[in-house]
Amino acid sequence: MASVQGTAVDITTEDGVADAYLAHPDDGLPHPGVLFYQDAFGLRPHLRSMADRLAGAGYTVLVPNVFYRHGRTPVFDLPEFIDPSARPEIFQQIGPVMQTLTPELAMRDADAYLRWLADSPLVADGPVALTGYCMGARLALFTAGTYPDRVAVAAGFHGARLATDAPDSPHLVVEKVTAEVYFAHADEDPSMPPEQQQLLEETLTAAGVRHRCEVYPGAHHGFTQADTATYHQEGDERHWAALLDLLERTF
C-alpha cells in the first residue's frame, strides 16, 4: 500500500462551495480518479478512512459533502458509533436534508465534482470511477447515466430504491450508461427488495450494460459502515474485494 496524503478541499459548484476530502498516494503523481459518494450520515472519520484505503491502493479519491447547501462538515452532530434505533432523532434530522437533494441538484453538483477531478494534476487523464454507499449508490447510478463519457466504472453498495415506479427512479438512466457497473445488495434490506433487484437487473441487461449485481447474504442496509450498528464484517470485506477488483480491471 502506498503512503497516503489526505487534505480538505473546496469545490466551487453552481450553487455555492462544497467542502470535500481528498486522499491520494503521497508521490505527487497522477492516479486514476475516484468520485466517492457518501451515505446519509455524511463526510466523517469513517468515510475518510475508507478514502485513505482506496488511495493506498493507487487512486486519487474525492469525497464531497453532498449536503453542503446545509453547511460544512459535519452537517449533523453524530455520535462516534451510530445506532439509529438508540437515537431515532438522527434520521429525523437527516431525512429532510436528504429530501432536498433532488436528482437535478445532485447532477448539477456531479458536473462540478467531475470537472474538479479532470482539472486536478493528481488525477490521471480520462474517465473516472464512482463508488457510492446507501444514497451514494443512487448518486453513482445517476452520475453514470448523466455523464457517461466521464465515467469508466461505477459501483454501488447497499443502495436504496434504485428501481422504483417513481418518475425519477435511478434505473431510468441506465440506457445512457456506458460504464461497467457493479451493485451489491444487502439481502436484509427493505429499501431494496427482490422486486427492485430484479427490475434493476432486467433494465441493465436490456440496455446492454456490462454489469454484475450480487446479493450479500446476512447483510443489512449499511453493511460497509464500521461506525454503525448495521456493520457486517463479512459483507464489508467482500465489498472491498469486489471494488478493488473492479478498479484494477478498469485502470
Grouping H, G, I as helix, E, B as strand and the rest as coil, residue 116 is: helix
Q: Cα–Cα distance between 24 and 171 in angstroms, integer?
A: 31
Instruction: Note the pLDDT tens digit of each residue in 191-205.
Output: 999 999 999 999 999
Percent of the chain with pLDDT over 70: 100
Q: Tell me which residues are annotated as active site.
A: 134, 189, 221
- Kind plus residue range of the DSSP H or E element containing 8: strand 4-13
- Give the list of residues 6+ apart from residue 212 with CB closer than 8 angstroms, or none: 181, 182, 183
pLDDT category at 6 given cuts 50, 70, 90 is very high
Q: Give the count of domains, the chain.
A: 1
| DSSP-based helix, strand, coil % in the chain, nearest 5 | 40, 25, 35
Task: Give the structural domain span for 60.
Answer: 4-250
* CATH code, domain with 202: 3.40.50.1820
> pLDDT tens, 80-134?
999 988 888 888 999 999 999 999 999 999 999 999 999 999 999 999 999 999 9
